[in-house]
DNA sequence: AGCATATCCGACAAATTTACTCGGGATTAC
DNA sequence: GTAATCCCGAGTAAATTTGTCGGATATGCT
């Protein structure tokens, strides 16, 4: 999320190289590469190779939500993995699952309610 | 949570022994012991020793929230551990932290909005 | 008193997930 | 052609979660 915020803040000055993000956020470049791989596969960023290369967003910052970013790197936003839709053997499991589903839903709502533009704006406000 | 739901559903018939919960929910008794230890230390249950012993809730089921249970066994409900309240060195960290705090808050709201009575009721409805 | 049924407790071990590293290949601007 | 940069698979380390082991202590019942 920090990496994407940096990209959102600086992409108008051209592609943002991974090395810059690594320095700004004190994250190892090699670890970041992995993360950008996920982001690229989820089509949230374009990677431009070669000198003067770097990453840019595939869409305007206000159309990419925090939820999109989380889903790209961590998969579906949910607290439980249960495919028995309906007839659970253990009844109490299902009762608690209903709770976890509600929690997951509210997490998604909050995360999908904040865009990269919001994050960039908040970040600038902190300066 | 499943264990607490079972206790809430059955405590009116006297203390609920751990062994019963273990069987009903297919959780090893030894692992459950650890969990009940946390619940007891958080004063959510009373453990009565000896024959005919078991666990009972310390308060009415409608006054214990799912959030209480989660906090008892897993600690504070939050996505980030950050004590720099205010002046973060890395600006973007703080911007994302604002997001994580909002998510955490909404999780707490949902979890504190459901009581053990609710869970027990949902569980009964599934039968 | 003796025994079966229980909770209590500390320490340890296995499994899973998350975080991170390594080494090299491919592309592009200048 | 060379420096900068992304691309990629495989492997390692750290942290967390989940679970086990062995025994001590308390209680109700006969």
Q: Is the pLDDT of residue A118 over 90?
A: yes
Percent of chain B with pLDDT over 90: 77
Q: How far apart are CA A44 and CA A58, in angstroms?
A: 5
Residue B59's DSSP bridge partners are none
Measured between beta carbons, which residues in chain B are less than 8 angstroms from residue A103?
107, 110-111
Note the pTM of the prediction, 2 decimals.
0.91
- B45-101 pLDDT, tens per residue? 999 999 999 999 999 999 999 999 999 999 999 988 776 554 466 766 678 988 999
- Which residue on chain A is closest to B116 by alpha carbon? A96
Does domain B2-126 correspond to CATH entry 1.10.10.10? yes
Structure tokens at A78: 């949910």
Tell me whether residues A91 and B126 touch, CB distance under 8 A: yes
Q: How far apart are CA B64 and CA B69, in angstroms?
A: 8
Nearest of A121, A57, A19, A14 to residue B96 by alpha carbon: A121
Q: Is the pLDDT of residue B127 over 80?
A: no
What's the gap between Cα B123 and its chain centre? 16
Q: Which residues contact B16 (CB under 8 A, 6 or more apart)?
A: B6, B7, B10, B54, B55, B56
- D strand bases under 7 Å from protein CB: 3-10, 17-22, 25-29
Q: Which residues contact B44 (CB under 8 A, 6 or more apart)?
A: B4, B57, B58, B59, B64, B68, B69, B72
Candidates B25, B94, B127; nearest CB to A126: B94
Crossing angle of helices B116-125 and A91-112, rounded to 10°: 120
Domain spans of chain B, in order of start: 2-126
Q: Which residues contact B94 (CB under 8 A, 6 or more apart)?
A: A122, A123, A126, B84, B88
Q: Is the pLDDT of residue A87 over 60?
A: no
Given a contact cutoff of 8 angstroms between Cβ atoms, the answer to whether A100 and A79 are in contact is yes
- Number of helices (H) and strands (E) in chain A: give both, helices first: 6, 2
Helix (H, G, I), strand (E, B) or coil at A99: helix
């Amino acid at each position: 999320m920090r990496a994407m915020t940096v990209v959102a803040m600086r992409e108008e000055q051209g592609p943002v190289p991974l090395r810059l993000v690594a320095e700004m956020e004190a994250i190892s470049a090699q670890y970041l590469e992995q993360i950008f791989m996920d982001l690229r596969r989820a089509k949230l960023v374009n990677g431009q190779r070669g000198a003067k290369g770097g990453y840019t967003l595939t869409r305007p910052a206000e159309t990419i939500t925090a939820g999109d970013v989380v889903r790209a790197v961590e998969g579906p936003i949910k607290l439980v993995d249960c495919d028995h839709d309906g007839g659970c053997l253990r009844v109490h499991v299902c009762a608690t699952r209903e709770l976890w589903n509600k929690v997951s839903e509210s997490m998604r709502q909050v995360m999908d309610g904040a865009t990269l533009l919001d994050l960039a704006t908040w970040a600038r406000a902190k300066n």
